[in-house]
Amino acid sequence: DVSPVVAGLIGATVLVVSVSVTVFVWTCCHQQAEKKHKTPPYKFIHMLKGISIYPETLSNKKKINRIRRDKSGTPKEPGRGNLLVDAAESGILGSDKALDGPNATPKIDQLPVKVDYGDELSPDQSLTPGGSKTSSPSSPGDDVMLGELTFLVDYNFPKKALVVTIQEAHGLPVMDEHTQSSDPYIKMTILPDKRHRVKTRVLRKTLDPVFDETFTFYGIPYSQLQDLVLHFLVLSFDRFSRDDVIGEVMVPLAGVDPSTGKVQLTREILKRNIQKCISRGELQVSLSYQPVAQRMTVVVLKARHLPKMDITGLSDPYVKVNVYYGRKRIAKKKTHVKKCTLNPVFNESFIYDIPVDLLPDISIEFLVIDFDRTTKNEVVGRLILGAHSITTGGVEHWREVCENPRKPVAKWHSLSEY
């Protein structure tokens, strides 16, 4: 004999378990069905010296990056980000060797702000017109030879695939003054869509790297090759600061005919030209400094004319605000995500404790990022105000804030490519 209370509890437990199992099974089946019917924007195979690293079945960019890191034979580097967002978050990080002299500015640990020593480092960002860190005395200049890049271009007609083999580079400049060498790697992008982004492994301590890595991009009709441009960005990895940008190579495929077989090309590596960066929309921000409280109030107001990042023709933007002292990030915050809009209104404020004597060395970076639930978040555009501002409007805005304490100064700024 079982009491009614016990019988009721047993019945309720069985009912709850049955419903939970049913919901779980239905969710799993629904997710599997979505994966089967989902068409990836592109897919590619990565060949390293004849060994297939990326199976053709991979259709998710996140999986591709993970397999490349685990199976390419290159150990995971601490402090090196592989996300698109992380690649741009720390764009003004640089070597803090300049703080070691007798006339050095105050150390970062004297700031009343928490220091993020474990921040991800940027593999390709640059704030100087030369595309390299201002603190690096060995950065390439106008009168320095940047070397040459050799690569192969081929097309697979049965599979409608563009095949690019990055073979080697010669005569790269010295980017590490301690070892008198470089740690080069290459990032490749297919323009103008910028959907196909890949990179080679890092080769240590060499000025003549031999990569021998093949990238096969599927879903590219041969008739569209004439409209595409291969963009190679040559960088030198730095474990403790922002990676150095050595130079770039732009190769329009309009003059290349891979229909009869592989075409080997050798191009001179040129100094990166940041003036090519086009506007990625506009962002309105307001800054106000309180000298008595020694606080900077940053208000992210709104953005407009953002580029379309989703297949729906819209975006899910949010703004990440990074504060730098010199070239070290000391604070980071972000706004809420605004769904399905190209003209978001944020109206969110952030307060930072900044001593007045450190204002000349402070920079504030605004990263407009497109949120994506299934793939990686992608940086839409960037704005920098303060010591490392590279635009006339950014310099003028910061000057007005410093000369007019306690007065909020709001301005529109064009976002640049990252």
| Model pLDDT for residues 174-187, shown as the tens digit of each residue | 888 788 888 999 99
Tokens 């998710």, residue?
60
Percentage of the chain beyond pLDDT 90 is: 27
User: What is the reported pLDDT for 79?
Assistant: 40
Q: How far apart are CA 319 and CA 334, in angstroms?
A: 6
Q: What is the pLDDT of residues 185-218, one digit of tens each?
A: 999 888 877 667 788 999 998 999 999 999 888 8
- Residues 174 and 180 sit within 8 Å (Cβ to Cβ): yes
Average pLDDT of span 341-369: 92
Please report the pLDDT score of residue 174 as a whole number: 87
Provide the pLDDT for residue 132.
37
319 pLDDT tier (thresholds 50, 70, 90): very high
Main-chain phi, psi angles of 115, to 5 degrees: -95, 130
3-state secondary structure of 12: helix
Q: For residue 34, with 0-12 CB atoms within 10 Å meaning exposed, 13-18 middle and 19 or more buried, which class applies? A: exposed
pLDDT at 341 over 50: yes
Residue that wins the pLDDT comparison between 113 and 164: 164
C-alpha span between 259 and 64 (Å, rounded): 28
Least confident of 237-246, 386-395, 399-408: 237-246
pLDDT at 288 over 90: yes
pLDDT beyond 80 at 263: yes
The mean per-residue pLDDT over the stretch 365-371 comes to 92
Domains, the chain, ranges and CATH?
A: 147-276 (2.60.40.150), 281-415 (2.60.40.150)
The string of pLDDT tens digits covering residues 32-60 is 776 665 544 445 555 565 555 544 433 33
Mean pLDDT of the chain: 75
pLDDT of residue 336: 94
More confident residue, 77 or 315: 315
Question: DSSP letters along 86-123, please?
Answer: HHHHTTT----GGGGSTTPPPPGGGSSS---TT--B-S
State how far the Cα of 98 lies from the Cα of 137, in Å rounded to an integer.
Answer: 11
Q: pLDDT (tens digit, 9 = 90+) per residue, 109-125?
A: 334 433 333 333 333 34
Instruction: Evaluate if residue 335 carries a pLDDT over 90.
Output: yes
Q: What is the CA radius of gyration of the chain?
A: 25
Average pLDDT over residues 352-356: 91
Across the range 273-279, mean pLDDT stands at 51
Q: Determine the pLDDT at residue 39.
A: 46
What residues contact 309, with CB distance under 8 A and at least 6 apart?
315, 316, 370, 372, 378, 380
Residue range 89-104: average pLDDT?
43
Tell me, what's the pLDDT at 224?
Answer: 84
- Looking at residue 1, its pLDDT comes to 63
Residue 299 pLDDT more than 90? yes
Looking at per-residue confidence, does 314 or 73 come out higher?
Answer: 314
* pLDDT value, residue 260: 80
Q: Does residue 91 carry a pLDDT above 50? A: no
Indicate the pLDDT class of residue 82, thresholds 50, 70 and 90: very low
pLDDT of the residue at 52: 52
Average of per-residue pLDDT across 370-381 = 83
* Residue 241, pLDDT score: 67
Confidence of residue 303 (pLDDT cuts 50, 70, 90): very high
Q: Is the pLDDT of residue 367 over 80?
A: yes
Would you state the pLDDT for residue 101?
A: 43
Which 3 state secondary structure label does DSSP give 4?
helix
Instruction: Yes or no: say if 416 and 367 are a contact pair by the CB < 8 Å rule.
Output: no
Strands (DSSP E) along 207-276, which ranges?
A: 210-218, 229-236, 244-252, 263-268
Task: Give yes or no for residue 296 having a pLDDT over 90.
Answer: yes
Query: Helix, strand or coil for residue 302?
Result: strand
